[in-house]
Amino acid sequence: MRDKVTGAQRWVVKIGSALLTADGRGLDRSAMAVWVEQMVALCEAGVELVLVSSGAVAAGMSRLGWSSRPSVMSELQAAAAVGQMGLVQAWESSFAQHGRHTAQILLTHDDLSDRKRYLNARSTLRTLVNLGVIPVINENDTVVTDEIRFGDNDTLAALVANLVEADLLVILTDRDGMYDADPRYNPDAQLIHEARADDPALDAVAGGTGGALGRGGMQTKLRAARLAARSGAHTVIVGGRIERVLARLKSGERLGTLLAPERGLLAARKQWLAGHLQTRGVLTLDDGAVKALVDGHKSLLPVGVKAVEGNFRRGEMVLCVAPDGREIARGLVNYSASEARKIAGKPSDLIEQLLGYVDGPELVHRDNLVLV
C-alpha cells in the first residue's frame, strides 16, 4: 500500500499542538522551519499541499503564561485570538524564506454544513493550490461555539481532505503511529504498520483522549482516517519529530501507520452529507426500511419510521437508526419534526391528508441520504 503514499498528488498535512509548541513552551519555530522545508520540497516535486495547523490555543496559552488548558469558552477564545496572530506570522515568514506564499483560512462546522459555503470553500482552496499558494487552515476557535465545533483538528483535517479530494492525509503527532497496545505502559507494544481504516480491532487499541494542550487523541485520528476514507484518501498517522518524516514518506519508507480506505469513494454530494457532524434528530426505522436503505439503496418513506426524536426543521440533518439503535444512515429531511411525527408509519399517499400539503413522498430522499 505504500505506493499510495509515493504516488499521492494532493496531500493534506495536519500538525498537532504538542509538536508546534514544543509541548506547551511556545511556538517551536525551528521545528516549523524543518517541516516547511519538507513541504516546499513536496510542492516542488509536484505535490499539491494543504496544511491544517493546530496550535493557536496552545500558543496563546504560552503567551499569556497559562500552564493548563482553560475550560471556560471565553478564555479559550481569548487564547486562540492571541495565539493565532503568532501562529500565522510564523508560518508566513517560514514559507516566505522559500519564496512561497501562504493563505490563512479559518473554518467552523457551519462553513462546511451549508452547501453554498462548502462549495465556495472548495473553490477557494482549489484556486489557491493552483496558484501555488499553501493554504494554512485552522478551526476558528475565536468565534466557534460547542454547537458548531469540529471537536478537534484531526476531524477538521479529514473534512478538508474530503473537501479538496486529497489522495493522502498525513497526521503528524507526538507518537510514532498506532500501536497494538499503549507503548507508555506496555514495552512489548508493536507499531501497526498498515491496516484498513474500518478494521473494528483498531477501536480497542486507539486509547483515550488527548493531552493538556489539544482535544485530540488516537481515537480522533482513527475517526479522522475513517472520514477521509469516504473520499478515497489514505491516511498516515506518524511521528512529527521523526527526522525528515515527510520526505521519507514521499520516498516510500515504511513510517507510521498507514490506514487504507475500506470502499470506493463517495460521490461529492454524499461526501458533503457524510461530513455533517451536527445532527438535529433521530428517526428509528423498522426492519423493512433498514433493508430498503441498506440493500436497495432506496429513499426513506414515512411508512418505515417507527419513532421520531428531536426538534428539527425541514432540510436539517437527522440520524436513521435500526430498531436496535445502530446508526444506519443520515440524511436531510423533507419535513419538520412535528410533521414527521404526524406521518411516521403512514403510507405516502396520506401525507397531504395529514399535513395539508405534500413536499414529496419521501421523508428523506435517497439523493440526500448517505449510509454510514
As a whole number of angstroms, the distance between CA 178 and CA 193 comes to: 8
Same domain, 219 and 308: no
Query: Which pLDDT band holds residue 213 (cuts at 50, 70, 90)?
Result: very low
The rounded mean pLDDT for the chain is: 87
Residue 358 is part of a domain; what is its CATH number? 2.30.130.10
Same domain, 101 and 25: yes
Residue 332 β-bridge partners? 317
Same domain, 141 and 204: yes
- Domains of the chain: total: 2
Determine the pLDDT at residue 115. Answer: 72
Domain holding 305, by residue range, is 279-371
Same domain, 114 and 59: yes
Mean pLDDT across 309-318: 88
Same domain, 26 and 141: yes
Same domain, 149 and 166: yes
Write out pLDDT tens, residues 182-204.
787 888 889 999 999 988 889 88
Q: In what helix (H) or strand (E) does residue 190 lie, and over which residues does it extend? A: none
Mean pLDDT across 12-33: 87
As a whole number of angstroms, the distance between CA 339 and CA 344 comes to: 9
What is the CA angle 277-73-152, rounded to 5? 35
Please report, rounded to a whole number, the percentage of residues in the chain having pLDDT higher than 90: 50
Mean pLDDT across 316-336: 91
Predicted confidence (pLDDT) at residue 214 exceeds the cutoff of 50: no
In three-state secondary structure terms, 127 is helix
End-to-end CA distance of the chain: 24
Same domain, 243 and 365: no
As a whole number of angstroms, the distance between CA 342 and CA 308 comes to: 10
Same domain, 326 and 178: no
Determine the pLDDT at residue 148. Answer: 36
> Around 310, how many Cα atoms within 13 Å sit in the side-chain half-sphere?
21
Same domain, 221 and 344: no
Determine the pLDDT at residue 91. Answer: 96
Write out pLDDT tens, residues 34-54.
999 999 999 999 999 999 998
Determine the pLDDT at residue 267. Answer: 66
Same domain, 106 and 46: yes
pTM: 0.76
Residue 177 is part of a domain; what is its CATH number? 3.40.1160.10
Query: Which pLDDT band holds residue 140 (cuts at 50, 70, 90)?
Result: confident
Predicted confidence (pLDDT) at residue 216 exceeds the cutoff of 60: no
